[in-house]
Chain A
Amino acid sequence: MIRLQNIEKVYRTDTVETLALNSISLEIAKGEFLSVMGPSGCGKSTLLNIIGLLDAPTRGEVKIDQQKTEHLSDKQLAHFRNRKLGFIFQNYHLINDLKVLDNVELPLLYRQGNAKERSELASEALGKVGLSNRVKHFPTQLSGGQKQRVAIARAIVGRPEIILADEPTGNLDSVMGNEVMEILLNLNKREGTTIVMVTHDEHMAKKTHRLVRLFDGSQVQ
């Protein structure tokens, strides 16, 4: 499903050159739930951003669903992300000005379809994360766990084949963290969604199919 070959990412400023990722090669199968671990600053999030086509590698090749991605235009990349990928962030990144339902509808805005269909799909996704009763709330009226569930609903509403989660439980207490993890595990099991999750939590990582460890930009496990 996802194939990374010799990925290198270098950040350059006027004076310093930082190697964030060093020759990473990784293959992630369809339906796999992979977790990425490592200390802060080891390049986990950079790796996730590269897989999510939010950032381009300095060298190396990213293939998703057999498709090379390096020559895609801004428009093509946007279309690709919209169809294939769903994102979950540690900080949720919900739009506070919009109601829960409108937040969840967001990925569908960039597709064909009418308002009614969008609203139905968003309600369905919110049902899956157990938030049917919070549709008309604003994000600021929700707890951290509820916010992250809204973010998951937003990530799955467009039925992407891949979900990229950047420390989805990082800001949550263990009860809420477990709830969120349960939802992701279910999603992977029932719908066969491929999930790549960056985490600091060994306990959460153990629940996934495979664990990749990074250290100073290199893969150590």
Chain B
Amino acid sequence: MLKNYFKIAVAVLKRRKFFTFISLFGISFTLTILMVLTAFIQNVIGNDYPDKKRDRSLYISTIEQKGKNAMSSGALSYYFLNKYAATLKSPEKVTIFSGANSTNTYVNNKKISIDYKYVDANYWSVLDYDFLEGKPFDARQIENGEHVAVISEGIKKQYFGDDPSVVGKYIEADNVQYRVSGVVKDVPVTTYMLYSEIYIPYTVSKTDYRNKNYGGGYVAILLGASKADLQKMHDEYEDVIKRVPPENKDFENVYSHAYGYIRSYVNTGNEENSGLTYAITAIAIFALIVMLLPTINLINVNVTRIMERSSEIGVRKAFGASSQTLVYQFIVENLILTLIGGLIGVLLSYIVIQILNSADLIPNFKMSLNFTVLVLALFICLFFGLISGVYPAWRMSKLDVVTALKEQ
């Protein structure tokens, strides 16, 4: 039976080559867009280097203060995090570090841009950077305000060229010489909270990390001993924040939360609208629109095709096919079409991803077609096949045999 459906499906596809091309193009093109998007999102969210303990970590990335006529929102100050986050009892460890800042440096009179980040000593134990050589700087060095740095593999290559070992050598950033203490594997810029090219002790920061403003350029990670600590850490931080007085009389309320990775990744710092809702809604609307167009197109093409096939429908009914069997046949045929489109789509996505990866649009960011993306592709195909097949199939099955046989 299925073989027979396959034969007829292929024959019908061959019959109207232009229609088939349009349908297949619609499906495979849509699928390519969605698969590349998924590969992108998956890489952004799924890549757990260097925060491999993500499942027992909470991230504090924003603080928002509101008053009658004033509002302030953004990253936090070292002072605030040190006072309210580092003192929490439930986390096993807390690390405080700044976002990446950009500066210029010169190598052989050639200007290169370097991103640097201030970190504390716990940074290297809370996160799992892969050290290609050397080691991180320690608490004592931070305390002493030593000009030491951990650098990324990428900047090592740019700054030192093919030098096999650079530990102990000096790298200049923002007119300061730093002694290289270690070299780590690159972090993609999409992992923006942890990305940097040079990591230096926060104590050497030019801006005073002791200033008592609430807002600043720092974020914190709370690491629990186990997953079970997540709730405890969250609740404890919420409790602490409740008691934090507003920074000055312009403000009445202070909001800051310790969230899991994804939620903090898309956090907008707006108390009323979680970034997650924004992100999910935006992705869903985009996916829906992208999928809706080829679905409507397929429904149209399918309805036209059914009218062309009324004689076949009549004959099948006359010889014993029930309406239900015909619906089944048509949906299977349609699924065959969408699966062929799906295969082309997977191939196209593979090519597009290869092109995007080799174009190096985002440094250190390599997408791949993995199992999740392929499973998603299969689901999208089934979605297309079913949605675009059901209505035409229903119309087909309702076709009166006598009328169907007359049309020819």
Contact = CB atoms under 8 A, between A and B. Distances in A.
A106 B312 CA distance: 11
B315 to A, nearest CB: 5
Interface string A72-107: 001101110111011101010111011000100111
Interface stretch (B2-10, B230-238, B261-269, B360-368): B2-10
A54 interface: yes
A109 interface: yes
Given A91-B408, A98-B8, A98-B11, A106 B316 contact: yes
B15 interface: yes
Contacts of B315: 87, 93-95, 106
A210 to B, nearest CB: 24
B8 A81 contact: no
Given A97-B15, A105-B4, A109-B4, A87 B318 contact: yes
A93 B311 contact: yes
B82 interface: no
A78 B8 contact: no
Contacts of B241: none
B320 interface: yes
Interface string B238-259: 0000000000000000000000
A43 interface: no
Contact of A102 (B7, B12, B317, B318): B7
B107 interface: no
B8 A97 contact: yes
Interface in A57-72: none
B323 A54 contact: no
Nearest to A105: B4
B319 interface: yes
Contacts of A149: none
Contact of B319 (A81, A91, A98): A81
Contacts of A78: 317, 320-323, 325
B319 A89 contact: no
Interface string B1-44: 10110011001100100000000000000000000000000000
A115 interface: yes
Interface residues of A, number: 32
B7 A89 contact: no
Interface residues of B, number: 26
Contacts of A97: 7-8, 11-12, 15, 312
Given A55-B402, A93-B408, A110 B319 contact: yes
A24 B134 CA distance: 102
B306 interface: no
A52 interface: yes
A107 B402 contact: no
Contacts of B322: 74-75, 77-79, 110
A189 interface: no
Nearest to A157: B319
A44 interface: no
A106 B313 CA distance: 12
B193 interface: no
A74 B321 contact: no
A207 interface: no
Given A49-B402, A97-B12, A81 B408 contact: no
A111 interface: yes
Nearest to B15: A97
B7 A54 contact: no
B324 interface: yes
A78 B324 CA distance: 10
A94 B405 CA distance: 11
B318 A109 contact: no
B303 to A, nearest CB: 18
A82 B319 contact: yes
A207 B317 CA distance: 30
Contact of B318 (A52, A91, A105): A52
Contacts of B378: none
Contacts of B3: 115
A78 B320 CA distance: 4
B387 interface: no
Given A78-B317, A81-B318, A98-B7, 8 more contacts: A75-B324, A78-B320, A79-B320, A95-B8, A95-B312, A106-B316, A107-B319, A110-B325
25 contacts: A49-B402, A52-B318, A75-B324, A78-B317, A78-B320, A78-B321, A78-B322, A81-B318, A82-B319, A87-B315, A89-B405, A91-B408, A93-B311, A93-B314, A93-B405, A95-B311, A95-B315, A97-B8, A97-B15, A97-B312, A98-B8, A98-B11, A109-B321, A110-B320, A110-B325
